[in-house]
Chain A
Amino acid sequence: MAVKLVDEPRLKVRNLQVEYHTRRGIVRAVQDVSFDVYPNEVFGLAGESGCGKSTIAHAVTRILKPPAYITGGEILCNGTDILMMGTETLRRFRWEHMSIVFQSAMNALNPVLTVGEQIIDAIQAHVLTPKKQARQQALDLLQIVGIDPGRIDSYPHQLSGGMRQRAVIAIALALKPELIIMDEPTTALDVVVQKQIMQEIRQLKNKFGFSILFITHDLSLLVEFSDRIGIMYAGELVEVSPSREIFQNPRHPYTMRLMNSFPTITGPRQDMLGIPGAPPDLVSPPSGCRFHPRCSVALAGRCQEEHPLLKTVSPRHEVACHLAESEAVKHGG
């Protein structure tokens, strides 16, 4: 659980800004987001639907396509800026150092190729490997993720949902990357399988030592599985903290509401639905703090006008809220 934060981050996102240019106007889906993911760390990202989590995941892997545009910021992976890479450099870098697991395993697998072929494809795209050897590696990978290697010649439709998701993870692991981005990797699965797979991912992480950028709707899974958590609201990161701390002592009113709507870690699962009001339209977000129209403790003047920035309120705990700041002052004084 303890992650040494003295290491250089695997992934360093700085002031990331992503826009969707739509007919309605510019959707500012990700606004000035910065965070780090350290070696062997699981960094969880959570927030209501539409707050920009997937957009971040796709920006980090540079698979965004128009109308999405990255309009600012840096994404450093192992120290090199992904946004500055040329096509061929990126092609080689991706999957060797960083891979992604998509939300829906059914859509992430090509229905007309066997699981084995899809793993071998990934291997051979990066390392000159004879077919036989690549196949052996694919067999090993299947074993690692808990699929009977005898299923190597199965087509995706012949596998259960859980096995498909495992196959997708096997593909993501194919080149032993140092960072894996998992965008809601288990939402399509039932709770039991979900639990199993998450446990296996954790074991794999400890075995191979990769970092995970983990995106989910499921708060209990998030708190249980992540070392640190970033809470997003309307395209912005509003709170970043070690997961236990954010669970026990949330500082942003939005996080508090999330945690309130989620009773105990062992209790019944709950999605983040229990917040009054609707998320703002990202074409014209509210002034000041984006959360103020839905915030029960918002200050009349300041919260409406002044945009709060992430500030450290206690060691490793950052919050973007005017009230949290003053509270910190109170605590300190």
Chain B
Amino acid sequence: MRFLARRLVFYLVALLVAIVLNFLIPRLMVGDPVQLIIARFQGRIEPSAVDAIKATFGFVQGPLHEQFFTYLSNLLQGNFGPSVMNYPVQVSQVLGASIGWTLRLVGTATILSFLIGTLLGIVAAWRRGSFVDGYVLPFLSVLGAFPYFWFALMVVYVFAFNLRWFPMSHASDISLRPDWTSWPYVSSVIEHAVLPLMTILITSVGGWMLGMRNNMIGVLSQDYIVMAQAKGLAERRVMLTYAARNAILPALTGFAMSLGFVIGGALVIEIVFSYPGVGFTLLQAVGARDYPLMQAIFLLITLAVLVANFLADVAYVLLDPRAR
């Protein structure tokens, strides 16, 4: 428990540093960023928006620390100010819409990929030289070596453009009203998710598999595995509780990292499939120099990485008695 408490303090400090940086960067920029924003919009931006943007950046009257506390209390209330490109819609609303898509698509893909890859890695190590080890592993590793935007484009070209099995872009049929209780809508969401999901899965599963296989092989040469077999334990118990339980520990950190990058990580996939997630939104925000939106996304990514790391620590403590 002391271990977790220490980690938690560390993450809180890291978060605070990120917030301070986020607060300082606009102030360190040459010129006045708010003026820059306004200039970019040459009259197309309303004066009330300017004030709102200023306010959320904390550009209020008063000394720096007062500005910071204004900024901090805005953050805590989830108030990131209005999005410039979607004015007067709030940044929090823009993000609220896109974050769900990203979490569902990329989150599912990351977790599935880890589970499938780990399972395949266990099997490959346990049955060395078998079909899974000799053919599936090299095949998936090669797929994982492809640049995945290229892979995404190929998938779109073949399965969406040529074969027309799946839709090419967006997260759902735009003609349908979003309603999670209606089957046509839900099924259209699933249909739209298949290709991006498969792309992420296929390009990432090989990495997990290879890592787990190698960890497993290291563990399998340990005396406690030989002893477990000699004791007469069932094969499954030796494979899972004696071997895999130990082999998975080094993989947890990597898994946490990739979970943390779920929010911003599938940028390319979202762009190729015009999937309205955070990555896609970030691209648009950059194009439109929507600083409030960008800053909120960066902060969100930081937060996600920290939370994922903390979850990994919790998992570590649960799985490895030495960490307790």
Contact B319 A102 (CB under 8 A): no
- The answer for the CA separation of A92 and B234 in the assembled complex, in Å, is 11
Q: How many of chain B's residues have a CB under 8 angstroms from any CB in A?
A: 21
- For A126, the chain B residues whose CB sits under 8 A away are 232
Q: Does A196 contact B (CB under 8 A)?
A: no
Q: Which of B7-15, B90-98, B222-230 contacts A (4 or more CB under 8 A)?
A: B222-230
Contact B321 A63 (CB under 8 A): no
- For B223, the chain A residues whose CB sits under 8 A away are 102-104, 107-108
- For B233, the chain A residues whose CB sits under 8 A away are 121-122, 125
- For A110, the chain B residues whose CB sits under 8 A away are 224, 228, 241-242, 245-246
Q: Which of A93-101, A133-141, A208-216 contacts B (4 or more CB under 8 A)?
A: A93-101
Q: Mark B70-94, 1 if CB is under 8 A from A, else 0.
A: 0000000000000000000000000
User: Which of A94, A107, A157 is close to B224, meaning CB atoms less than 8 Å apart?
Assistant: A107
In the complex where A63-B226, A102-B227 touch, is A157 in contact with B322 (Cβ < 8 A)? yes
- For B229, the chain A residues whose CB sits under 8 A away are 63
Q: Does A91 contact B (CB under 8 A)?
A: yes
- For B241, the chain A residues whose CB sits under 8 A away are 110, 112-113
- The answer for the CA separation of A102 and B229 in the assembled complex, in Å, is 13
Q: In the complex, what's the smallest C-beta–C-beta distance from A11 to chain B, in angstroms?
A: 16
Q: Mark B282-324, 1 if CB is under 8 A from A, else 0.
A: 0000000000000000000000000000000000000111100
Q: Does B237 contact A (CB under 8 A)?
A: yes
Q: Does B231 contact A (CB under 8 A)?
A: yes
Q: In the complex, what's the smallest C-beta–C-beta distance from A260 to chain B, in angstroms?
A: 34
Chain B contacts with A in 253-298, Cβ cutoff 8 A: none
- The answer for the CA separation of A165 and B224 in the assembled complex, in Å, is 13
Q: Does A18 contact B (CB under 8 A)?
A: no
- For A125, the chain B residues whose CB sits under 8 A away are 231-234
Contact A108 B227 (CB under 8 A): yes
Chain B contacts with A in 107-152, Cβ cutoff 8 A: none
In the complex where A107-B223, A111-B246, A121-B237 touch, is A155 in contact with B231 (Cβ < 8 A)? no
Contact A95 B230 (CB under 8 A): yes
Q: In the complex, what's the smallest C-beta–C-beta distance from A48 to chain B, in angstroms?
A: 22
Q: With contacts defined as CB atoms under 8 Å apart, how many contacts are there between chain A and chain B in the complex? A: 68
For B322, the closest partner residue in chain A by CB is A157
In the complex where A112-B245, A112-B320 touch, is A107 in contact with B222 (Cβ < 8 A)? yes
Q: Does A145 contact B (CB under 8 A)?
A: no
- Knowing that A100-B227, A126-B232 are A-B contacts, what are 13 other residue pairs whose CB atoms are under 8 Å apart, sorted by A's residue number? A94-B231, A94-B232, A102-B223, A103-B223, A108-B224, A112-B241, A114-B321, A121-B231, A122-B231, A125-B232, A157-B322, A168-B227, A171-B227
In the complex where A110-B242, A112-B246 touch, is A155 in contact with B227 (Cβ < 8 A)? no
Q: Does A226 contact B (CB under 8 A)?
A: no
User: Which of A91, A114, A157, A168 is close to B232, meaning CB atoms less than 8 Å apart?
Assistant: A91
List 25 interface pairs A-B (beta carbons < 8 Å), by A numbering: A61-B230, A63-B229, A92-B232, A100-B230, A102-B223, A103-B223, A107-B224, A108-B223, A108-B224, A110-B224, A110-B241, A110-B242, A111-B224, A111-B321, A112-B245, A112-B321, A113-B242, A121-B237, A122-B233, A125-B232, A125-B233, A155-B321, A157-B321, A158-B321, A174-B231
- The answer for the CA separation of A183 and B228 in the assembled complex, in Å, is 17
Which of A94, A102, A121, A125 is the most central at the interface, judged by chain B CB atoms within 10 Å of its CB? A121
For B319, the closest partner residue in chain A by CB is A112
Q: Does A77 contact B (CB under 8 A)?
A: no
For B324, the closest partner residue in chain A by CB is A155
- For A63, the chain B residues whose CB sits under 8 A away are 226, 229-230
For B234, the closest partner residue in chain A by CB is A125
Q: Does A109 contact B (CB under 8 A)?
A: yes
- For A113, the chain B residues whose CB sits under 8 A away are 241-242
- The answer for the CA separation of A158 and B233 in the assembled complex, in Å, is 24
Q: In the complex, what's the smallest C-beta–C-beta distance from B145 to chain A, in angstroms?
A: 29
Q: In the complex, what's the smallest C-beta–C-beta distance from A109 to chain B, in angstroms?
A: 6
User: Which of B230, B237, B321 is close to A94, meaning CB atoms less than 8 Å apart?
Assistant: B230
Q: Mark A297-321, 1 if CB is under 8 A from B, else 0.
A: 0000000000000000000000000
Q: Mark A170-182, 1 if CB is under 8 A from B, else 0.
A: 0100100000000
- The answer for the CA separation of A111 and B241 in the assembled complex, in Å, is 11
- The answer for the CA separation of A104 and B222 in the assembled complex, in Å, is 10
- For B242, the chain A residues whose CB sits under 8 A away are 110, 113
Which of B232, B233, B320, B322 is the most central at the interface, judged by chain A CB atoms within 10 Å of its CB? B232
- The answer for the CA separation of A63 and B319 in the assembled complex, in Å, is 28
- The answer for the CA separation of A254 and B227 in the assembled complex, in Å, is 34
Give 6 nearest A-B pairs by CB, closest first. Answer: A107-B223, A155-B321, A125-B232, A122-B231, A108-B223, A110-B224
- For B231, the chain A residues whose CB sits under 8 A away are 94-95, 121-122, 125, 171, 174
Q: In the complex, what's the smallest C-beta–C-beta distance from A25 to chain B, in angstroms?
A: 23
Q: In the complex, what's the smallest C-beta–C-beta distance from B283 to chain A, in angstroms?
A: 43
Q: In the complex, what's the smallest C-beta–C-beta distance from B127 to chain A, in angstroms?
A: 14
Chain A contacts with B in 145-193, Cβ cutoff 8 A: 155, 157-158, 168, 171, 174
For B243, the closest partner residue in chain A by CB is A110
- For A122, the chain B residues whose CB sits under 8 A away are 231-233
- For A108, the chain B residues whose CB sits under 8 A away are 223-224, 227
For A114, the closest partner residue in chain B by CB is B321
Q: In the complex, what's the smallest C-beta–C-beta distance from B245 to chain A, in angstroms?
A: 5
For A125, the closest partner residue in chain B by CB is B232
Contact A121 B227 (CB under 8 A): no
- The answer for the CA separation of A158 and B227 in the assembled complex, in Å, is 20
- The answer for the CA separation of A91 and B237 in the assembled complex, in Å, is 14
Q: In the complex, what's the smallest C-beta–C-beta distance from B77 to chain A, in angstroms?
A: 44
Q: In the complex, what's the smallest C-beta–C-beta distance from B74 to chain A, in angstroms?
A: 46
Which of A112, A125, A171 is the most central at the interface, judged by chain B CB atoms within 10 Å of its CB? A112
